[in-house]
Amino acid sequence: MEAGKGNGSRALVGFLKGLPGALRLDVPLCSLTTFRIGGPAWMVFAPATQAALIEAVKRARSLGIPWRILGKGSNVLFPDQGFPGLIISTACLRECRSDGELVVAEAGVPLAKLSRLGFSFLAGIPGTVGGGLVTNAGTKFGQIGDQVEWVEVLLPSGEVARWDMEGCGFSYRDSRLRRLGIPVLRAGLRPKAGPDPAEVLAKRRASQPLDWPSAGCVFRNPREAPAGWLIDRAGLKGARQGGAMVSPRHANFIVNTGQARACDVLALVDRIRARVVKIFNVWLELELEVVTV
Ligand SMILES: Cc1cc2nc3c(=O)[nH]c(=O)nc-3n(C[C@H](O)[C@H](O)[C@H](O)COP(=O)(O)OP(=O)(O)OC[C@H]3O[C@@H](n4cnc5c(N)ncnc54)[C@H](O)[C@@H]3O)c2cc1C
């Protein structure tokens, strides 16, 4: 079956029957990602409860239907062909409360909300708690993994487990959660004193191209120098491929100038890597997650 033609989704849709939440068919992924890029997903389900998310994953697993959890879609590039399966959106899982010294937040709680509850170092990062934990989101002021008391995850066995910080295996913009593809349900996080969020936001506005769709930094910073500096010095600011462009303001951002396709972004990534390796002998690793199906 071909993605996006509606045939796959209509044949499969019955398997989510009875689960509370919103189900949509043939949804353009460009409408669910900050890059505004990506073809249609067969199904997008936003479970109303954690139990519904767990059940949707179990059913997809048992039927062998490709599935993936999506938060704000601010760190992903989906293919132009779309996603032939089920996207589970955490948009409705937004419960957030204090529990003693901890903030307990469901996977879909925006990081913007968390930034106002004692996590100001996350101000301006346009993701969710789930996506933030998986990518160990952060800034020079801190990273979310360092504030973890526990994270509730859905194991491949179908059981819910509580992992501590060590179990989550956080490292620079990475985690064991990501490497294992484990669904994050909620987390207990310890607030910490941080910078003034208004100042952080003002600095971001001054240095990042926030007026264009993007997925934030494309490459991880290598040991040698910040990726943006290397790309700038390689003369690539403003370089274009189709509708994708290396931001003239921040060279580690690729922006969608209107009609960019995933293949434009990937071609630009290849060009950047080739030029940077030729000039500096440094291979840039992706921070952006390129989804393959
Ligand atoms: C303008 C801009 C600025 C940015 N600045 C920063 C920054 O300063 N620092 C930084 O670290 N990042 C930054 N980012 C990148 C991005 O916002 C973060 O990586 C963010 O944490 C991703 O969260 P998300 O909810 O959008 O995740 P998504 O993009 O939706 O998903 C990312 C990955 O996590 C998985 N995932 C999402 N939710 C769950 C869940 N509940 N359970 C299991 N897996 C899940 C997805 O399958 C995917 O593999 C920026 C992005 C943009 C667009």
- Position 8 scores a pLDDT of 56
pLDDT in tens, 153-181: 999 999 999 999 999 999 999 999 999 99
Q: In this structure, are 79 and 108 located in the same domain?
A: no
CA torsion sign for 110, 246, 87, 149 is negative
Q: In this structure, are 74 and 104 located in the same domain?
A: no
257 touches 243 (CB < 8 A): yes
CATH number for the domain spanning 48: value is 3.30.43.10
Give the global pTM: 0.95
CA-213 nearest atom, ligand 1: 53
- Position 152 scores a pLDDT of 98
Residue 35 inside a domain? The answer is: yes
Among the three residues 40, 57, 89, which one is the final residue of a domain in this structure?
89
Per-residue pLDDT at 9 exceeds 80: no
Per-residue pLDDT at 3 exceeds 90: no
pLDDT in tens, 135-144: 999 998 999 9
Residue 203 inside a domain? The answer is: no
pLDDT in tens, 272-292: 999 999 999 999 999 999 999
Q: In this structure, are 31 and 104 located in the same domain?
A: no
Residue 123 inside a domain? The answer is: yes
CATH number for the domain spanning 147: value is 3.30.465.10
Q: In this structure, are 243 and 171 located in the same domain?
A: no
147: Cα within 13 Å, side-chain hemisphere: 31
What residue owns the CA closest to ligand 1's atom 43? 183
Instruction: Report the mean per-residue pLDDT for the chain.
Output: 94
Q: In this structure, are 174 and 233 located in the same domain?
A: no
Residue 227 inside a domain? The answer is: yes
Parent domain of 285: 209-290
CA-137 nearest atom, ligand 1: 11
Q: In this structure, are 12 and 56 located in the same domain?
A: yes
Per-residue pLDDT at 1 exceeds 50: no
- Position 5 scores a pLDDT of 45
* Residues with Cβ within 8 Å of residue 62, at least 6 apart in sequence: none
Give the integer Cα–Cα distance in Å for 204 and 224: 23
Q: In this structure, are 100 and 185 located in the same domain?
A: yes
Per-residue pLDDT at 106 exceeds 60: yes
Tell me, in angstroms, the distance from the centre of ligand 1 to residue 263's CA: 21
What residue owns the CA closest to ligand 1's atom 6? 125
Q: Which of 53, 3, 51 is nearest to 25 (CA)?
A: 3
Residue 131 inside a domain? The answer is: yes
182 touches 2 (CB < 8 A): no
pLDDT in tens, 232-261: 999 999 999 999 999 999 999 999 999 999
Q: In this structure, are 34 and 82 located in the same domain?
A: yes
Active-site residue set? 178, 217, 287
The total of structural domains in the chain comes to 3
CA torsion sign for 60, 65, 69, 72 is negative
Residue 202 inside a domain? The answer is: no
Q: In this structure, are 36 and 54 located in the same domain?
A: yes
- Position 14 scores a pLDDT of 86
Candidate of 31, 53, 134 to mutate for ligand 1, largest count of ligand atoms within 8 Å of Cβ: 134
Give the integer Cα–Cα distance in Å for 270 and 84: 26
